[in-house]
Amino acid sequence: MSKILIVDDEKDIVDLLSYNLGKEGFSTVKAYDGEAAIGLVRSGKPDLMILDLMLPKMNGLDVCKAIRRNPETANLPIIMLTAKGDEIDKIIGLEIGADDYITKPFSVKELVARVRSILRRMQDVEKKTGNEEFEYKDMKINYASCLVKISGKPVTLSPTELKLLFFLSRNQGRVYSRNQILDHVWGDDTFITDRAVDVHIRRLRSQIEKDMENPNYILTVRGFGYKFADKK
């Protein structure tokens, strides 16, 4: 049974989500401020977190940053939940490492679908398929253990970033459009736009590239999309 951490300062929303996720077979843990959320991530080891942006003590963006900085929690899937509908808030959330984003008021059915989609994505990343290891320049990937190293140092990536890197590296040299990447990485039940692909690519590059303006691994093919660099 997957454990979902729900973080929101509105008790009614937390209780509503807890009830509906429980009906769908999930167990839930509740937090009402940012500091409590970080404590529960470390002690409770949830499988996914639904995180409100506006929180007391520590806001959702800072919580997300703290989780991504810690190697022990960096792989936790995060859905950002907020009343703000501005595009800039959505982009910021994705840039700091959120896997998905939903605005209030929201459909509980849609949120549950997003939870299932991200957990399924995480399971896909962990599957042992094809060659289990990949090396290119200073990068080493172990697909089975989900371990990525650059120049011998481990890199912490979110589940979405891992799956994006795994997909492109397993198809080295092949160019994919944003919509094709959405289909392969997020699947048919995706709720994000093709612009979010650019944000996740930028976030991934910030983790693996020495120079984001002159990347070695994830290359932009102008007018079409992205590819992992060709074999030398």
Distance CA 10, CA 53 (A): 12
Q: Are the C-beta atoms of residues 45 and 3 closer than 8 Å to each other?
A: yes
Band the pLDDT of 100: cuts 50, 70, 90: confident
Q: Are 225 and 175 in contact (CB under 8 A)?
A: yes
What's the pLDDT band for 220 if we cut at 50, 70, 90?
Answer: very high
Q: Provide mean pLDDT across the span 51-60.
A: 92
pLDDT the model gives residue 183: 83
Sheet containing 225-228, strands listed edge to edge, beginning at the edge strand earlier in sequence: 176-177, 225-228, 218-221
Average pLDDT score over residue span 73-99: 79
129: left (phi over 0), alpha (psi -120 to 50) or beta: beta
Q: Which helix (H) or strand (E) holds 174?
A: none
CB 40 within 8 A of CB 129: no
The residue-averaged pLDDT of 180-195 equals 74
Within 10 angstroms of residue 26's Cβ, the number of other Cβ atoms is: 20
The pair phi, psi for residue 227, each rounded to 5°, is -155, 160
* Residue 27 near residue 3, CB atoms below 8 Å: yes
What's the rounded Cα separation, in Å, for the pair 76 and 68?
8
Residue 230 DSSP symbol: P
Between strands 48-52 and 176-177, the pairing is unpaired
Q: Please name which of 229, 210, 207 lies closest in space to residue 218, comparing C-alpha atoms.
A: 229
Q: Is the pLDDT of residue 186 over 90?
A: no
**1-5, 90-94, 161-165: range with lowest mean pLDDT:** 90-94
Q: State the pLDDT at residue 102.
A: 87
Reported in sequence order, the residue ranges of the chain that DSSP labels E, i.e. its strands, are 3-7, 27-31, 48-52, 78-82, 100-103, 133-136, 139-142, 147-150, 153-155, 176-177, 218-221, 225-228
Q: Give the tens place of pLDDT for each residue, 166-185.
A: 999 999 999 999 988 888 88
pLDDT at 126: 61
- Report the pLDDT value the prediction gives residue 48, as an integer from 0 to 100: 96
Cβ pair 111, 100 in contact under 8 A: no
For residue 124, is pLDDT > 70?
no
In the block, residue with structure tokens 């899937």: 77
Q: How does pLDDT run across 126-138, given as a tens digit for each residue?
A: 665 556 889 999 9
Domains of the chain as residue ranges with CATH: 3-125 (3.40.50.2300), 129-228 (1.10.10.10)
